[in-house]
A and B are shown apart, each in its own frame.
Chain A
């Protein structure tokens, strides 16, 4: 394998897909907010007790026949109530990846990540921290990519401080989606900052401010830039949601200022079917013009716990709407039983200028206890 192929392989391996991280597809079950099932208001990560119960009783194909089952709890409920207000979770993601690209191919078995997450809730305060082995790079390391403290008032006012992914658009489970990774919302793009929020029955407003991407601040790589984001979500009648987003990254030592604006719309024609579409425009200082990203995710629950997904996507280069990459993606997500999610995902990425094509097949188990 030559250097070019190695670079492509390394790039692909670094952009793998964790499944069932956050699932906007549950709009079809009338869940429009992340906080119902996750501790994080921006979704993903440790499930709340409610989210765990939902995974056993409503979302998985099979469930325990016991009347008061604790199967969905941490370690299958082996610790009983001894943890009190402390919630723990262990996550493992073994995966198999196969990639075909122009002039080569790659296949690999690996552990995408293995981590422990803890959340402690008392009197409307939440302390949240995750630590684990992140296997995205060749040099797997132990690190904590998300840790924060938050307070939520009875009237829906919230404040959060720490390291977290800023609220922007719709957080689709696949972090390689063009409306995520291409815009700087990848797995490890958390910022250090403060987030203010206002949540009501029909709307959610989130504003965050911070000195920049946490990893850049720690590594002092010259890319840390003051970051401000704003997101407004309006939940409309009949399982529809409209999301407006904006983000501004100031100029850093190594990059010009960066401005994003986006609009997302989700609707659920039935209790088994949801459709999310998000479009963004990005303007980078010193760039040759604006670039665009567009992603659709259509999810259909063919059988209880068995989801079929189709996701066409587009991303263009700055000032070149005729170029860019078109992605055609399809996935099967199976939630056979609580604690286990299985996924099979296929992507075909075609560069519109060079006509080069990259095909990616990922099989992954997401085990959480």
Chain B
């Protein structure tokens, strides 16, 4: 009887990210690209996918990966899209180039059982076939059984072997700002 009560209490108070497995239900990415002449433009894309499983609760760390297909990125200008995908991201080179992947995600100093609000994170980001450790900030909130995450990180293009984008005197600066918004649902919940 006592065990049943404990189980019930755990189930009722189950906080964010304490589930073992999560699947990305939907998500989008915005990459803010500052221009060398001042100003900036955004590359926007949707179709974030992947699944994560809780590896350790404290700090909250996850196995699995989040994938962002890069073919759908849109800057609003066809020529700019073409240059971005063909000349710099080189998405035609194969699966390692066609998508960006974030894996080995750790919410630094956060407990999976209680984490909510703003936190910092680290993970292995693979872009352009190159993997680097990155760090950023995330805001986590729960809505029903789902988790909403808004994350931001800076990406330095040369570190990923991406040449400095330049076209007729106008270029993108080496560091771009990536914003990720995603919604994840517990895998068990979906199965039910």
Contacts and interface: CB of A to CB of B under 8 A. Distances in A.
Nearest to B35: A36
A311 interface: no
A36 B39 contact: yes
B16 to A, nearest CB: 26
B38 A50 contact: no
Interface residues of A, number: 27
Contacts, number: 65
A151 to B, nearest CB: 14
A271 B170 CA distance: 21
A57 B79 contact: yes
B95 interface: no
A156 B38 contact: yes
B109 to A, nearest CB: 29
Contacts of B78: 57-58
Interface of A: 28-33, 35-36, 48-50, 53-54, 57-58, 121, 156, 199-202, 204, 235, 237-239, 271
B83 to A, nearest CB: 11
Nearest to B74: A271
Contacts of A201: 32, 34-35, 38-40, 173
A235 B40 contact: yes
What 9 A-B pairs are tightest by C-beta distance, nearest first? A199-B38, A201-B34, A33-B39, A30-B41, A49-B168, A50-B168, A271-B76, A50-B170, A57-B79
Contacts of A237: 32, 42
A201 B75 CA distance: 16
B169 A50 contact: yes
Contact of B37 (A28, A199, A239): A199
B45 to A, nearest CB: 14
A49 B169 CA distance: 8
Contacts of A36: 35, 37, 39, 170
Interface string B25-50: 00000001011011111100000000
Nearest to B39: A33
B40 A202 contact: yes
Contacts of A239: 42
A56 to B, nearest CB: 9
Interface string B152-191: 0000000000000001111001000000000000000000
Contacts of B11: none
B10 interface: no
B40 A53 contact: no
29 contacts: A30-B76, A31-B39, A31-B41, A32-B39, A33-B35, A35-B37, A35-B38, A35-B39, A36-B37, A36-B39, A48-B168, A48-B169, A50-B167, A50-B168, A50-B170, A53-B167, A54-B79, A58-B77, A156-B38, A201-B38, A201-B39, A201-B173, A202-B40, A235-B39, A237-B32, A237-B42, A238-B42, A239-B42, A271-B76
Interface in B42-76: 42, 75-76
Nearest to A30: B41
B35, B37, B42, B167 — most chain A CB neighbours (10 Å): B37
A28 B173 CA distance: 22
Given A35-B39, A237-B32, 7 more contacts: A30-B75, A33-B38, A49-B169, A50-B170, A200-B38, A201-B38, A235-B40
Nearest to A235: B39
A235 B35 CA distance: 13
Contacts of B42: 30, 237-239
